[in-house]
Amino acid sequence: MRHSSPKLSYGYTKMNIARGGYRVFSANSSAACTELAQKITERLGVELGKSVVYQESNSETRVDVKESVRGQDIFIIQTIPRDVNTAVMELLVMAYALKTSCAKNIIGVIPYFPYSKQCKMRKRGSIVCKLLASMLAKAGLTHIITMDLHQKEIQGFFNFPVDNLRASPFLIQYIQEEIPNYRNAVIVAKSPSAAKRAQSYAERLRLGLAVIHGEAHHSESDMADGRHSPPLSRAITGHTGLELPLMMAKEKPPISVVGDVGGRIAIIVDDIIDDVEDFVAAAEILKERGAYKIYVMATHGLLSAEAPRLIEESAIDEVVVTNTVPHEVQKLQCPKIKTVDVSMILAEAIRRIHNGESMAYLFRNIAMDD
């Protein structure tokens, strides 16, 4: 009697996968950071690559790859914990170790791309995101899979392919299945800059849209993208012959809500939830305007500092984030935090890239503004 090999995810057998020549590694050995990598490999039907990543007594990062990678496609999964700089070094050192071990292609699976907020010049600062892109290329990466970049233009910083996946289908599914009476909800943008994202959710769910306008304090300086060169304090001798028109300073109005939220469920959507003060302030305004339940949906739940305590004490009823960033400790501190698993789309992206298949299926109905 002929015995067939056991079927695994996506219809592949273990023999097919072994012959295909790819390995999946985690760039961090801690349990919290390998959780997503374990879920992805389970969906692919492969074992996580054998490697050891650790810190020396002097805090230097050391990586030991325990199996041959010669001529294979290597996928490095790196989730970013609170110690961002250590995670970046782990990724760089592992990529370089695989490069010098003659891996054919090295693909970084970085669901939350660090330093993505530092993608614009601010006074005499630097565009750190561009620096990181150059470092990853130099270390040996040939491709990156990420999710919901803070600005889509970041893809232009790289000189190799970048697949910017979207978490919105999973969050929209959560709204439809887990929020009772979601048809009575309104999608809220906590600032005008988040209006496009909120509009995308509202149109897909066939719901109304509200935008919170004005701020109690400036989260970013109005002069953040200015150039003070030469400095204003420098004495200018002689007449320059130029009389430039004076730019009037911005004055933001008091916080107001554009749109009706009275007697409705308010769902605030954004890409990152880190310092939660803005979300807490938005929830209070929405509560004052008559919203009877408030949800916050975001792709990346960094939840730094006192975020769990502030959420627990706020008018927010539930915060829903994906597992692109480890946040199990924060969930223990605040039961309002819920997690949506996105390992399915990351696993499918890995499978398609290795097999040379089109990625278009993963971007169905994704518009330019999404």
SS3 labels along the chain: CCCCCCECHHHCEHHHHHHHCEEEEECCCCHHHHHHHHHHHHHHCCCECCEEEEECCCCCEEEEECCCCCCCEEEEECCCCCCHHHHHHHHHHHHHHHHHCCCCEEEEEECCCCCCCCCCCCCCCCCHHHHHHHHHHHHCCCEEEEECCCCHHHHHHCCCCEEEECCHHHHHHHHHHHCCCHHHEEEEECCHHHHHHHHHHHHHHCCEEEEEECCCCCCCCCCCCCCCCCCCCCCCCCCCCCCCCCCCCCCCCCCEEECCCCCCEEEEEEEEECCCHHHHHHHHHHHHCCCCEEEEEEEEECCCCCHHHHHHHCCCCEEEEECCCCCHHHHHHCCCEEEECCHHHHHHHHHHHHHCCCCHHHHCCCCCCC
Contact 53, 25 (CB under 8 A): no
Torsion sign (Cα): 209, 214, 219, 222: positive
Residue 260 has pLDDT above 50, yes or no: yes
**Which range has the worst mean pLDDT, 117-126, 274-283, 286-295?**
117-126
Rounded mean pLDDT, 191-200: 92
Q: How confident is the model at residue 234 (pLDDT cuts 50, 70, 90)?
A: low
- pLDDT (0 to 100) of residue 216: 56
Name the more confident of 89 and 252.
89
Rounded mean pLDDT, 106-120: 93
Rounded mean pLDDT, 119-137: 91
Is CATH 3.40.50.2020 correct for 22-165? yes
Name the more confident of 39 and 233.
39
| pLDDT tens digits along 26-44 | 998 777 778 999 999 999 9
Tell me the C-alpha distance between 148 and 163, whole Å.
Answer: 10
- pLDDT (0 to 100) of residue 17: 41
- pLDDT (0 to 100) of residue 358: 94
Q: How confident is the model at residue 262 (pLDDT cuts 50, 70, 90)?
A: very high
Hey, what amino acid is at 43? R
Residue 205 has pLDDT above 70, yes or no: yes
- pLDDT (0 to 100) of residue 255: 80
Rounded mean pLDDT, 262-269: 97
Mean pLDDT computed over every residue of the chain: 87
CATH 3.40.50.2020-classified regions of the chain: 22-165, 169-215+255-340
Residue 72 has pLDDT above 60, yes or no: yes
- pLDDT (0 to 100) of residue 241: 66
Of 172, 166, 132, residue with least CA distance to 148: 166
Percent of the chain, pLDDT > 90?
A: 71
Hey, what amino acid is at 223? M
- pLDDT (0 to 100) of residue 60: 93
Name the more confident of 248 and 23.
23
Residue 150 has pLDDT above 60, yes or no: yes
Rounded mean pLDDT, 131-143: 96
- Under CATH, which architecture does the 169-215+255-340 domain have? 3-Layer(aba) Sandwich (3.40)
15: buried, middle or exposed (CB in 10 Å: 19+, 13-18, 0-12)?
A: exposed
pTM for the full predicted model: 0.85
Tell me the C-alpha distance between 205 and 302, whole Å.
Answer: 26
Residue 219 has pLDDT above 50, yes or no: no
**Which range has the worst mean pLDDT, 17-21, 56-60, 100-104, 206-210?**
17-21
Q: How confident is the model at residue 8 (pLDDT cuts 50, 70, 90)?
A: very low
- pLDDT (0 to 100) of residue 248: 82
| pLDDT tens digits along 325-368 | 999 999 999 999 999 999 999 999 999 999 999 999 999 888 77
- pLDDT (0 to 100) of residue 128: 93
